[in-house]
Structure 1
Amino acid sequence: MTKNIFILLLFWGSMALAQTSQENKIREFIKVTGVDKLGQQGANQMIDMFKENYKNIPTEFWDECKKEVSSDELVSLYIPIYAKYYSESDLDELIKFYKTPVGQKMISIMPALMQDSMNAGREWGQKLRKRVSEKINEKYNYQSPPPPLPSK
Structure 2
Amino acid sequence: MKKLIATCTLSLLILTNTSYAKEQQISSVERMFAVMGMDKQMTGGFEAMLPVIEQMASQLQLDDAAKEELKNIYRDWFKYDFDQQAILTKLVAVYSESFTDKEINELIAFYETPTGQKFLAKSPQLMQIGAQLGMQEGQLKQALLLERLQPFLAKHQGK
TM-score range, shorter chain: 0.5 to 0.7
8 Å contact kept, 1:40–1:71? no
User: 2:17 aligns to what?
Assistant: 14
Deviating above 4 A after TM superposition, structure 1's stretches of 4 or more consecutive aligned residues are 37-42, 70-74
Q: How far apart, CA to CA, are the structure 1 residues paired with 2:39 and 2:132?
A: 26
Change (3 A) 1:129 1:33: same
Q: How far apart, CA to CA, are the structure 1 residues paired with 2:43 and 2:89?
A: 13
Map 1:3-152; keep pairs closer than 5 Å.
3-37=6-40, 49=76, 74-129=87-142, 132=144
Paired AA for residue 99 in structure 1: E
Larger Rg: 1
Change (3 A) 1:106 1:86: same
Identical columns (%):
23
Q: Which runs of 5+ in 1 are unaligned?
A: 51-64, 137-152
8 Å contact kept, 2:110–2:116? yes
Higher helix share: 2
Q: What's the secondary structure of 1:80's corresponding residue?
A: helix
Q: Output the aligned Cα RMSD.
A: 3.5
Change (3 A) 1:38 1:106: closer
8 Å contact kept, 1:37–1:71? no
Higher relative contact order (CA 8 A, sep 6+): 2
8 Å contact kept, 2:26–2:92? yes
Paired AA for residue 91 in structure 1: I
8 Å contact kept, 1:33–1:98? yes
Change (3 A) 1:17 1:96: same
Larger deviation: 106-115 or 84-93? 84-93
